Structure 1
Amino acid sequence: MQTIHGTTTTSEDAEREREGPGRDLTPLLAGAATAVGAIGAVLALTGSDSPLRGPFTLFFLLAAPAAAIGAALRGLDPFGRLVASVAGAVVLDMLVAQAMLALHQWSVRGGIVAVTAISALILLLVIMRRRTV
């Protein structure tokens, strides 16, 4: 007598079959967002008269601190992390603007540099914390 073994598929196998090539657009979208943010920062720092300067710079001012804060909040669920990181980005932008206005040092270039430096510092602290853990 011959025994026929049935194959059972797990949920991971089924998900892997559904994904297929070209289904995961997350890296592509992350790269596009990085490019748009970098172009916005460069356009603002060079003082270009491009009509894309405003929207791209605004995207950079929200995305750079939000990405840094989101990296620091890995323990939250995805929606809570998104809301907290965007709110933190707005708060960071407002604090930088208020500090620059209070010190009579307001400039667009200075604001871009300050937000970039603070975002990079937050990311550096996250990386250092992960290496020690």
Structure 2
Amino acid sequence: MLKHRRALAWLLALACIAGAAVALFDIETPLRPFLISLFLLVVPGAAVVGLLRDRDPLAALSVGAAASLVLNVLLAQAMLLFGAWSPRAGVATVAVLGGFMYVLRVLYRGKSMQTEQGARAR
């Protein structure tokens, strides 16, 4: 079961990377709408779910989906408001924000792991 879950996670990650590459490099493919939509919906949600450690899985998934939609809508609204509409810039912004949240998650989990190890040593 764990192997299937891990394989699915890697497949989803590769599809998201492909979606970002398709959008940023303007590659024409029949899968373009699916891959870009998948990237825009999964990356922010996965980043937020990663920050919600030790929570109910259904609640974390719901918050991640809502955060993903909110981030995309706010980004689109801001680009339209400032007259700077660019699908490439939108994808790049989502990628940067997702990466930033991933770094926060790594730092947060690293800090909590050090605290746990320090508590065990006492």
Q: Same fold (TM over 0.5)?
A: yes
Partner of 1:107: 86
- Residues in 1 aligned to 2:103 and 2:3: alpha-carbon distance in whole angstroms: 28
Runs (4+) off by over 3 Å:
none
Give the length in aligned residue pairs.
112
- TM-score, normalised via structure 2 length: 0.85
Partner of 1:27: 6
Partner of 2:37: 58
- Residues in 2 aligned to 1:54 and 1:45: alpha-carbon distance in whole angstroms: 13
Tell me the amino acid that sits aligned with residue 59 of structure 1.
L
- Residues in 2 aligned to 1:124 and 1:96: alpha-carbon distance in whole angstroms: 21
- Residues in 2 aligned to 1:120 and 1:67: alpha-carbon distance in whole angstroms: 11
Partner of 1:41: 20
RMSD: 1.4
- From the two aligned structures, give the one with the greater helix fraction: 2
User: Which structure is richer in relative contact order (CA contacts within 8 A, separation 6 or more)?
Assistant: 2
Tell me the amino acid that sits aligned with residue 11 of structure 2.
A
Tell me the amino acid that sits aligned with residue 47 of structure 1.
D
How far did 1:64 drift? 0.7
Partner of 2:109: 130
Confirm whether residue 69 of structure 1 aligns to residue 18 of structure 2. no
Percent of residue pairs bearing the same amino acid type:
32
How far did 1:75 drift? 2.6
Secondary structure of 1:26 counterpart: helix
Could you tell me which runs of 5 or more consecutive residues in structure 2 were left unpaired when the two chains were aligned. 113-122
Confirm whether residue 85 of structure 1 aligns to residue 64 of structure 2. yes
- TM-score, normalised via structure 1 length: 0.79
How far did 1:129 drift? 2.0
Based on CA coordinates, which of the two structures has the bigger radius of gyration?
1
- Residues in 2 aligned to 1:101 and 1:126: alpha-carbon distance in whole angstroms: 31
